[in-house]
Amino acid sequence: MKIRTGIEKLGKGMILLIFSIFTIFPFVWMILSALKTKAEIMDVRSFFPAEFQWHNFYQVIFESPLLRYVGNSLFVSVITLALQIVTGAMIAYAIVFMNFKGKKALFAVIMGTYMLPTAATYIPSYIILANWNLLNTFTGLIISNCVSIFGIFLLRQAFMQVPMGLIEAARIDGASSWKILWRVVCPMTKSSFITFGLMNFITCYNSYMWPSLITDADEKMMVSQGLRKFFIEGGAYGTEWPLVMAGSTLIVLPLLILFAFTQKWFINGIGGDTGMKG
């Protein structure tokens, strides 16, 4: 029995190891490529660089505008996410804990919009921002993404796990809906908030198509735009692939750090854990 258990554990460990290698390989390859010369990258026979080219990172950090683009993306993503959390939480709270006519119809409409292809909203959204003179502005990027349908759905599912008795008790104690949301419901569904925040932050940070449509000024570009324009599209560095890889490494770094600090709550949120005990 012990031998069988040991074999099962070894088998599971080997499977996880294999999947881990496949998962981490692109990141390892990207970092090693950032430390190669262009000729070494084109030579598929050389996996490791003959000599580490640390100056590739120096060029990207100090001789290109990439850090400014990272700052732009972080700024827009943080503000956008804060608005998405507030709007998503308020709408989800209203749908779950408040009684009003048309509540089910409202939720059906919200979920119906989630089924629309994102590209179908580009033209009307562009026209609205143009009429408001918000093209080529951070404000236009932020307000055009200040509501997340995915976030509303995720938080609604989490809020439905909160006992209604706690909400009624808080109302009897005189708490307003705003206080109930942030002091009762939010702490009990913390994992879902973190999951929502992490996924939407990554989506906003990596966004390329929509920012490319409404911003073309260099000082307003996001990381995906800047990386393509200055390192790939015949811009400042043409197709210098070592610089592309070095820039990609710096772009991914904030996301890896963020996930490292939030993975525990992220996994709990995916699993539907609301932090409540039975």
5-16 pLDDT, tens digit per residue, is 777 888 888 998
- The model's confidence at residue 137, banded by pLDDT at 50, 70 and 90, is very high
Asked if residue 71 has pLDDT above 50, the reply is: yes
Asked if residue 46 has pLDDT above 50, the reply is: yes
Q: Is 128 left (phi over 0), alpha (psi -120 to 50) or beta?
A: alpha
Tell me the average pLDDT across 43-49. Answer: 81
In this prediction, residue 240 carries a pLDDT of 77
Q: Quote the tokens at residue 157.
A: 């599912």
Asked if residue 276 has pLDDT above 60, the reply is: no
- Delineate the domains of the chain, giving CATH numbers in brackets: 1-51 (no CATH), 63-269 (1.10.3720.10)
Residue with the bigger pLDDT between 89 and 230: it is: 89
Phi, psi of 144 (to 5 degrees): -75, -10
Distance CA 183, CA 162 (A): 13
For the ranges 57-61, 113-117, 139-143, the one whose mean pLDDT is highest:
139-143
193-220 pLDDT, tens digit per residue, is 988 998 899 999 999 999 999 988 888 8
Tell me the average pLDDT across 236-263. Answer: 79
- The model's confidence at residue 181, banded by pLDDT at 50, 70 and 90, is very high
Distance CA 114, CA 112 (A): 5
| Helix pair 190-206, 66-97: axis angle to 10 deg | 140
Tell me the average pLDDT across 237-263. Answer: 81
- With a pLDDT cut of 70, the percent of the chain lying above it is 90
Asked if residue 84 has pLDDT above 60, the reply is: yes
Residue with the bigger pLDDT between 262 and 131: it is: 131
Sequence length of the chain is: 278
> Is the four-CA dihedral 60, 212, 139, 183 of positive or negative sign?
negative
